[in-house]
Amino acid sequence: MNTANYFRGCEGVDLMFTNRRGALEQIDAPARKPVILPMRPSADYASELLAHEPPGGLRHFAIPELCSTPAELFERPAPTAVWPTCERPETVRACAQTAEAIYRRVDSNRSAILALTSPDDGDGKTDLMLGLAPELAKLAGDTLAVDADYAKPDLSLRLILPICDASTGIYSLIYPTNRTDLNVLPHWSGGSASNWSREWFEDLRDRWNLVLFDAPSLERAEPSPLMRYCDGVYLVVRLGYTPRRAAAESARAIHARGSRMLGSIVIG
């Protein structure tokens, strides 16, 4: 499948992930030749591609298949949230290099708020969140991962965290994790994205170096105000699952909602 067809004619698409070398080789050459950084253990293949890296070129990442990451079960909420660990070294390396590429685009002199969204449910957004957040925390320092997907709070479920009442204050619900500099705010009741204010986002900036939202899919109305106050959005799609038209329409919808689309993450 030609990954370029997903976003032909859409603005802001300059970051892709796929685990299929064939798909990468089929990408049509855009106006600026893409940089393809394969994350597979093939030094010769990597050297050949990196030799053609243009300054400011597009970036495509070959990321191994995202696997499920089991977590230890608890009978009651743990004082420290246990962030799942991926046991596939190639996937860990891919996420680390991907995090570096994302973080290079963040202004190091100010806090940043980023969001992951997708055209619909099931595109692998939360799997990607679980892999990227610890690596971004290594680079940014104090990092907060937020489960903002009210219709499908997969991040909280994967971390086995309870859905709590935010009447005593949202910040009281934050868990430290077993990963350095990474904290998590699970899904909470009594809060909709439509009620979030610019002041709350500014308060997040004052407290954290980096805030990463696991946002609802664009099939739902919730992400609109969330993405408007973020510094940038990454759109996650899955090859063979996400319809091309849905991906292209989602990219346009992000721009139409006043958000800055920093790139697209295509999981093969």
Give the domains, in start order, of the chain with CATH numbers: 80-262 (3.40.50.300)
Average pLDDT over residues 124-138: 92
What average pLDDT does the structure give for the chain? 72
Q: How far is CA 119 from CA 139, 211, 249, 266, in A?
A: 28, 21, 8, 12
Confidence of residue 223 (pLDDT cuts 50, 70, 90): low
Residue 225, pLDDT > 80, answer no
Reading the block at residue 189, the tokens are: 């009741």
Half-sphere exposure at residue 126, Cβ-oriented, CA atoms within 13 angstroms: 22
**Which of the two residues, 226 and 6, has the higher pLDDT score?**
226
Q: How far is CA 48 from CA 2, 38, 45, in A?
A: 21, 11, 5
Kindly report, residue by residue over 18-73, the tens digit of the pLDDT: 444 444 444 443 333 333 333 333 333 333 333 333 344 434 444 444 444 444 43
Give 124's DSSP letter. S
Of 47-61, 73-87, 106-120, the least confident: 47-61
pLDDT of residue 141: 95
Distance CA 168, CA 150 (A): 19
Kindly report, residue by residue over 159-180, the tens digit of the pLDDT: 888 877 776 678 888 999 999 9
Alpha helices in the chain (DSSP H): 21-25, 43-50, 89-103, 125-140, 154-158, 198-207, 223-229, 244-256
pLDDT of residue 135: 96
Of 162-166, 179-183, 225-229, 236-240, the least confident: 162-166
Confidence of residue 227 (pLDDT cuts 50, 70, 90): confident
Distance CA 38, CA 45 (A): 8
In percent, the amount of the chain with pLDDT more than 90 equals 23
Q: Which neighbouring-strand residues pair with 263? A: 234
